[in-house]
């Protein structure tokens, strides 16, 4: 299996339908990742001379996307950057305003499965969790944040109701070097109610650390504050999120756009993957898609 095939793109049919891809349009994939969604968009653009601008903050993801999308030649432009800076990244590309933008948030399977990145609690790796550049790592947070702040972070970003116990256990056991050492301590700190655990007890704490290290919610907010500027009237914005806090940010931004007459919401209710997709691709289970059209 090639590297890009390790990541199965989520809700591709729905994303393309909502984007209403025109063969001669300019499209932005703000999270190009392994290029799964991008390849499907480019198949349409190939028919009419359109261009896709693919963005990712992870240079490794861009390398994989580059390989996969090379067949589309000059129809595709790839740039490294944080989608929070969407206006500057688009300006630098010298492309005209776009007919649509897609953001498929979170991690790719390649990132999650690369032990050296430290995203996974099931295999030993350094407590890193950075998607792209930046100095802050999970190790820094786990080993140095005061207990109270650590508990607040785990509560806010992980929605972990045992955040105080988890933070206390972490502070008592630190310093940590490896993901699995942290996962063990977190698991022991959470009261076990046999059979009731739907997810691994460390899931929420790891999620919280990842969101904090990468400032993911702030990036999403800034993306949604700026994206309309780079779009032409009638252009579509599609966001696929995997975390309730992300979905709330998307929902509220779209509502604000609609209230002030900047955009029209296309998804009255959030769109979820089909049962068929969730059966075949467990990663899609928590996916939520929302779409809006610039007025």
Ligand X SMILES: C[S@@+](CC[C@H](N)C(=O)[O-])C[C@H]1O[C@@H](n2cnc3c(N)ncnc32)[C@H](O)[C@@H]1O
Nearer to ligand X, 213 or 292 (CB): 213
- What are the Cα distances from residue 224, in Å, to 51, 56, 142, 211? 22, 16, 30, 17
Nearer to ligand X, 59 or 233 (CB): 59
Distance, in Å, from the CA atom of 171 to the CA atom of 158, rounded to the nearest integer, reads 18
Do 210 and 128 contact (CB within 8 A), yes or no? Answer: no
- Residue 195, classified by CB atoms within 10 Å of its CB into exposed (0-12), middle (13-18) or buried (19+), is exposed
Residue 190 Ramachandran class (φ > 0 left, ψ -120 to 50 alpha, else beta): beta
Strand partners, 289: 240, 271
**Nearest distance from residue 9's CB to ligand X, in Å?**
3
Do 5 and 31 contact (CB within 8 A), yes or no? Answer: no
**Nearest distance from residue 40's CB to ligand X, in Å?**
8
**Nearest distance from residue 196's CB to ligand X, in Å?**
29
**Nearest distance from residue 35's CB to ligand X, in Å?**
5
Residues that bind ligand X in the complex, under the rule CB under 6 A: 7, 9, 31, 33-37, 55-58, 61, 82-84, 104, 106-108, 131, 219
For residue 284 the two structure tokens come to 């899609």
Q: How many CA atoms lie within 13 A of 14 on its CB side?
A: 21
**Nearest distance from residue 20's CB to ligand X, in Å?**
18
**Nearest distance from residue 123's CB to ligand X, in Å?**
19
- What are the Cα distances from residue 103, in Å, to 110, 139, 153? 17, 28, 25
**Nearest distance from residue 165's CB to ligand X, in Å?**
30
Strands 98-104 and 26-29: parallel
Distance, in Å, from the CA atom of 74 to the CA atom of 217, rounded to the nearest integer, reads 33
Nearer to ligand X, 61 or 154 (CB): 61
Nearer to ligand X, 55 or 183 (CB): 55
Nearer to ligand X, 42 or 167 (CB): 42
Nearer to ligand X, 100 or 201 (CB): 100
Nearer to ligand X, 111 or 205 (CB): 111
């Amino acid at each position: 299996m090639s590297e890009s095939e390790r990541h199965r793109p989520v809700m591709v049919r729905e994303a393309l339908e909502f984007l209403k891809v025109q063969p001669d349009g300019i499209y932005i994939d703000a999270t190009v990742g392994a290029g799964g969604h991008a390849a499907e968009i480019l198949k349409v653009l190939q028919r009419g001379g359109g261009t896709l601008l693919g963005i990712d903050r992870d240079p490794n993801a861009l390398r994989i996307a580059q390989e996969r999308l090379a067949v589309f030649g000059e129809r595709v432009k790839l740039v490294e950057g944080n989608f929070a800076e969407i206006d500057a990244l688009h300006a630098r590309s010298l492309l005209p305003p776009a007919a649509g933008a897609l953001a498929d948030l979170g991690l790719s399977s390649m990132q999650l499965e690369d032990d050296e990145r430290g995203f996974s609690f099931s295999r030993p790796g350094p407590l890193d969790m950075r998607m792209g550049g930046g100095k802050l790592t999970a190790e820094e947070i786990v080993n140095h944040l005061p207990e109270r702040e650590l508990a607040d972070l785990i509560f806010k970003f992980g929605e972990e109701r045992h955040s105080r116990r988890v933070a206390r256990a972490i502070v008592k056991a630190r310093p940590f070097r490896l993901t699995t050492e942290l996962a063990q301590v977190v698991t022991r700190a959470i009261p076990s109610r046999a059979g009731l655990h739907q997810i691994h007890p460390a899931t929420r704490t790891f999620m919280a650390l990842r969101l904090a290290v990468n400032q993911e919610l702030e990036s999403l907010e800034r993306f949604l504050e700026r994206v309309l500027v780079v779009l032409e009237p009638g252009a579509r914005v599609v966001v696929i999120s995997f975390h309730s806090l992300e979905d709330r940010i998307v929902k509220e931004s779209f509502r604000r756009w609609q209230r002030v007459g900047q955009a029209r919401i296309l998804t009255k209710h959030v769109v979820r993957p089909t049962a068929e997709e969730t059966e075949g691709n467990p990663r899609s289970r928590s996916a939520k898609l929302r779409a809006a059209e610039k007025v």
